[in-house]
A and B are shown apart, each in its own frame.
Chain A
C-alpha cells in the first residue's frame, strides 16, 4: 500500500511538524518513507510544499508525480488549490479555512472557499477555531493532521499519537495532551463531514 501526500502551506506555518509526526508514525509501522521539504528563501513567507510518500515497498522518487497524490493536506486554503495538478482522480483535499494574507493581491476568501467547495472529496476545516476551543491556538496543525488521518490508511491513529508524544515530550505533558486532543478533534470533524 502506498500513500502520497502533498503538504502545503506558507513558510513559517510549520508544515514540517505535521510531516515529522507522520514520518515518525510511518517508521513505527515499519513503512518506507520519503519526504521532500522546502528549505531556504521560500521559508520567508513564501509558498512551501512538502512531498511525503509512505509505502510498504521501496520508494523511488522523492517527488510525487502529477496526478498521483492521494491527499493534499494544506494549512491554508489558497495553497490547497495551488497543488491541484498533483491530485489523483480519487484523491482527497483536507484544508484549513483560515487564510494567511501576506500578499496584497490575495483573492476574495469567499471565492477561494467556493472553488474548494466545488471540488469533490474536500474536507474544509476551521482548524484555528477548533484549536482555540481546545485551549491552544498553537495546536491547529495537529487538528489538521487529525482531519487528514482517515485518509492516511497505511497508518493507525495510535501510531500518529505515538508520533505526537515523541515530537512534544520535551515540551512537557501539558503540550502533549493538548496536541493529542487536537488530533482527535480533527479526526472527529473529518469523519462527521464525510458521513
Chain B
C-alpha cells in the first residue's frame, strides 16, 4: 500500500507498522505531527496505542522508558530543544538500556524557522553513545520508524531518529510494509538492569562501552549507509541525511565523484576509510553542526577534509541545492532579485487573540514602574516581543520566565513580571513558581491562558481546568490568585489588577483566560459537524 506522507508522518506510520505500543510527546515544531498522526490513525485507535500528550518532554521520555522496561515498543518525540528538557532521562536510558525497543525521535530546526537555537541532536546521540538514524527521504523515514525497533532490541539500547525541518514537513509517496504485532508484556531478564545505583551503573556503562564496536559494525552493514562509486577520484563526498538529495539535484545524470550516503551513526568506519583511500580530498555535507567533518578531521588538520567546519559551506543555517551546487563549482542560475518594495512579513498574533488584551494592559502598567522587567516564555505570546507591543524582555526556554523574574527580583529588580502560557506553565513553570513561593519573592506571574497549546496548532493543554488549584497547591496565597477575562471592556480592570499585584510584596498570579480564537473556530466547526 502507498500513502502520501510528511517526513514526520512517515516515521509515525513506520513506528505503528513496526509494532509500537505507544508514543509519548510534548508538541514542538517540527515534531508535533508525529504524535498527531498517531492520535488520528484508525489502526492506532483500534489497538489503543498510547498517544496522549505528556506534560513535558522529560515526563514523555520517562514514560516511554517505562513502556520499554515492560517489554513493549515505545517512541518518544520532541523538537531539538525538547531533548534538553528530557536529557536527564535520555542520558541515563543509554545506561539502563531497554527491554522492549525504544525510539527517541528528535526533529532539529536548522535556520531556526520556529526555534530559539539550531542545536544538532546527533551530538546528543554521540554524547549518550547510542546509534542514531538520519533519513534522507520520506521512504527512509518510514523504514527507520519500522526497523528502528529491531535495531533497538538487537542491542537492548534506545535508538535515536534525527530528522530536520525540511524533511519533517515535506510530503512524498511512501510504500508501507506489513504490520508487525506488538510485543507481549515481558519483564527484563535482569531485574537490576534499570536500577542505576553506582555499583550497577558501572557494570551497565561497561556494557554500553563494549557495545560501541558492535554499533559501528552494524552501521557498516546498514541499508541506510550506501557507497556509490564515481570515476572522478579527485574528491569523495560524504552526504548525511537530506543533503544527499541536494547533492544529487545538482547531478541529474549521476554524480561524477564517489559518494558515501550516511543514514546510520556511529559512522561506518570501513566505508569512510575506503572513501579516504580512494580519493584525494573529502567534502562533508551535513545539516546542522560539522560533527562528521570534525570527527574525521585530525586535530592537526593534515587531512584534506572540508565542509562546514573549515568554511567551505556556511557554518549555520539550513543547506539547500544551491549552496551545495555553488560549493561544487557548478553554475547556479538564479532568477530576478526580490524587488525592493517587498517588505518582510513576520508572524503576528491573530486578530482577536487574548494576548493582545494582556499586552495592551501590561504595557500601560509597566510604563508606570519602568521598563525592562517583563520576562516571557515560549509560545504565541512570544510574538509580544515584536511590533506593536515590544512588551517582553526575555524568551529563553520553557518555564524560564518565572525563574528569571525571580532571579531578577532577587537582584533588586522589583517588581518583576513573568508572562507565561497555560501549557508552558504546566510544562516547566510550576517548579519555578514553587521556588518563588518558598522565598516569597515579589514577582507577578501572568499566566496568559488560552486553554490550548496554540503555537504548535492547538493541541490539548494539560493546564485546562487546573491552573487555580495548581497555584493554590504550590502555596500561592489565594488572595493573590486572580482570574479575569481579557476583553477590551475589562481593560481598566485588568490594568488595576496588574498594578495592585505588582505593588504587592510577594508572589501573585493573574490568569487572563479566554480560549484561543483559532481553537474556538475549530471547536465550533467540530460541533457543527457533530450536530449535522
Write the residues of chain A forming the contact surface with B, with a CB cutoff of 8 angstroms. Answer: 10-12, 23, 27, 32-47, 51, 59-63, 65-69, 78-79, 81-82, 84-89, 91, 102-107, 111-112, 115, 119
Q: Is the CB of B332 within 8 A of A67?
A: yes
Instruction: Say whether, besides A11-B347, A33-B171, A86 and B342 are in contact (CB < 8 Å).
Output: no
> In whole angstroms, what is the CA distance A68 to B338 when docked?
15
Q: Which B residues are CB-close (under 8 A) to A34?
A: 170-172
The answer to the question of B100 belonging to the interface, with a C-beta cut-off of 8 Å to chain A, is no
Query: Does B87 have its Cβ within 8 Å of any Cβ on chain A?
Result: no
Given the interface pairs A41-B113, A102-B345, A103-B345, the reply to whether A84 lies near B338 with Cβ below 8 Å is yes
Q: How far is the CA of A128 from the CA of B314 in the complex (A)?
A: 42
**Complex: how many Å from CA A38 to CA B339?**
22
Complex CA gap A66/B131 in Å reads 35
Question: Please, could you name 19 A-B residue pairs with CB atoms under 8 Å apart, sorted by A?
Answer: A34-B170, A36-B166, A36-B170, A39-B169, A41-B114, A41-B347, A45-B347, A46-B346, A46-B348, A47-B344, A63-B166, A65-B250, A65-B322, A65-B325, A69-B335, A78-B345, A84-B336, A84-B337, A112-B341
Contacts of B4 in A (CB 8 A): 23, 27, 33
Q: For the complex, is B383 an interface residue (Cβ under 8 Å from A)?
A: yes
Picked from B171, B246, B335, the residue with its CB within 8 Å of the CB of A85 is: B335
Is B196 interfacial (CB 8 A cutoff)?
no
Contact partner of A35 (CB less than 8 A), chosen from B172, B333, B343, is: B172
- A-chain residues with CB within 8 Å of residue B169 when the two chains form the complex: 36-39
Q: Return the contact of B342 from the options A82, A87, A91 (Cβ within 8 A).
A: A82
Report if B455 contacts A (CB, 8 A): yes
* B347, A62: Cβ atoms closer than 8 Å: no
- A37 in complex: contacting residue of B32, B171, B248, B337, CB < 8 Å: B171
Give 17 new A-B contacts, CB below 8 A, not counting A39-B32, A39-B33, A41-B114: A23-B171, A27-B173, A35-B170, A45-B350, A60-B246, A62-B166, A63-B246, A65-B250, A65-B321, A65-B332, A66-B334, A78-B341, A78-B342, A81-B342, A104-B387, A105-B343, A112-B341
> Is B245 part of the contact surface with A, judged by Cβ < 8 Å?
yes
CA distance A141 to B447 in the complex (A): 38
Question: In this assembly, does B320 line the interface, its C-beta being within 8 Å of a C-beta of chain A?
Answer: yes
Q: CA of A150 to CA of B348 in the docked complex: distance in angstroms?
A: 35
Indicate if the CB atoms of A39 and B29 lie closer than 8 Å.
yes
Indicate which residue in A69, A81, A104, A105 contacts B338 across the interface (CB closer than 8 Å). Answer: A81
Residues on the B chain within 8 Å of A32, using CB: 172-173
Indicate whether B349 reaches chain A with its CB closer than 8 angstroms: yes
Does B433 reach chain A (CB closer than 8 Å)?
no
Q: Is the CB of B335 within 8 A of A61?
A: no
Q: Point out the residue from A41, A66, A112 that lies within 8 Å of B29, measured CB to CB.
A: A41
Bound-state Cα–Cα, A91 to B245, Å: 23
CB-based contact A86/B33 at 8 Å? no
A95 CB, nearest partner CB in chain B, Å: 13
Is B510 an interface residue, CB under 8 A from the partner? no
Flag B84-95 by CB within 8 Å of A: 1 or 0 each.
Answer: 000000000000
Please, which residues of chain A bring their CB within 8 A of the CB of B249? 60-61, 65
Q: How far is the CA of A13 from the CA of B173 in the complex (A)?
A: 25
Chain B contacts of A38 at CB under 8 A?
113, 169
A87-B336 contact given A62-B167, A105-B343, CB 8 Å threshold: yes
Q: Does B30 contact A (CB under 8 A)?
A: yes
Chain B 150-171 residues near chain A, CB threshold 8 A: 166-167, 169-171
With most chain B CB atoms within 10 A of its CB, the pick from A39, A79, A87 is A39
Complexed CA–CA distance, A35 and B4 (Å): 10
Q: Which A residue's beta carbon lies closest to that of B138?
A: A34
Q: Are B455 and A44 in contact (CB under 8 A)?
A: yes
Query: Counting CB contacts under 8 A, is B380 at the interface?
Result: yes
Q: Which residue of A lies closest to B387 (CB)?
A: A104
Determine which of B244, B325, B339, B348 lies in contact with A115 in the assembled complex, contact meaning CB atoms within 8 Å. B339
Compute how far the CA of A112 lies from the CA of B29 in the bound complex, rounded to whole angstroms.
Answer: 33
Give every chain A residue within 8 A of B171 (Cβ-Cβ): 23, 33-37
Choose one: A44, A69, A105; the contact of B348 (CB below 8 Å).
Answer: A44
A87, B170: Cβ atoms closer than 8 Å? no
CB pair A42–B347 under 8 Å, yes or no, is yes
Selected from A33, A45, A87, A107, the residue in CB contact (under 8 A) with B335 is: A87
> Chain B residues with Cβ under 8 A from A69's Cβ?
335
A119 to B166 CA separation, bound complex (whole angstroms): 30
Chain A residue at minimum C-beta to C-beta distance from B251: A60
Query: CA of A194 to CA of B134 in the docked complex: distance in angstroms?
Result: 46
**Contact A115 B341, beta carbon cutoff 8 Å:** yes
Contacting residues of chain B (348-367) with chain A, CB-CB under 8 angstroms: 348-350
Residues on B with beta carbons closer than 8 Å to the beta carbon of A61: 245-246, 248-249, 320-321
B38 at interface, CB cutoff 8 A: no
Determine the residue in chain A with the shortest Cβ distance to B325: A65
Asked if B133 is at the interface of the complex by the 8 Å CB criterion, the answer is no
* B132: interface (CB < 8 Å): no
Using known A-B contacts A27-B173, A35-B171, A66-B322, determine if residue A107 contacts B334 with beta carbons closer than 8 Å. no
Task: State A32–B173 Cα separation when bound (angstroms).
Answer: 7
B334: chain A residues at CB < 8 Å are 66-67, 85
Residues in A neighbouring B170, C-beta threshold 8 A: 34-37, 51, 62
* B445 at interface by CB-CB < 8 Å: no
Bound state CA distance, A120 and B354, in angstroms?
45
**Bound Cα distance A37, B342 (Å):** 21
Closest Cβ of chain A to B92, distance in Å, is 30
Residues of A within 8 A of B29 (CB): 39-41
Q: What is the bound-complex CA distance between A65 and B456, given in angstroms? A: 28
B341–A40 CB distance below 8 A? no
Contacts of B339 in A (CB 8 A): 81, 84, 115
Contacts of B383 in A (CB 8 A): 44
CA distance A88 to B33 in the complex (A): 33
The verdict on B242 contacting chain A, using a C-beta distance below 8 Å, is yes
Q: Please tell me if B68 contacts chain A, counting CB pairs below 8 Å.
A: no
When chains A and B are docked, how far (Å) is the Cα of A27 from the Cα of B1?
13
- How far does the alpha carbon of A45 sit from the alpha carbon of B455 in the complex, in Å? 12
- Asked, given contacts A37-B171, A39-B30, A61-B321, whether A46 binds B245 with beta carbons under 8 Å apart, the answer is no
Query: How far is A28 from B172 in the complex, measured between Cα atoms in Å?
Result: 14
- What are the residues of chain B within 8 A of A43 when measuring CB–CB? 347, 457
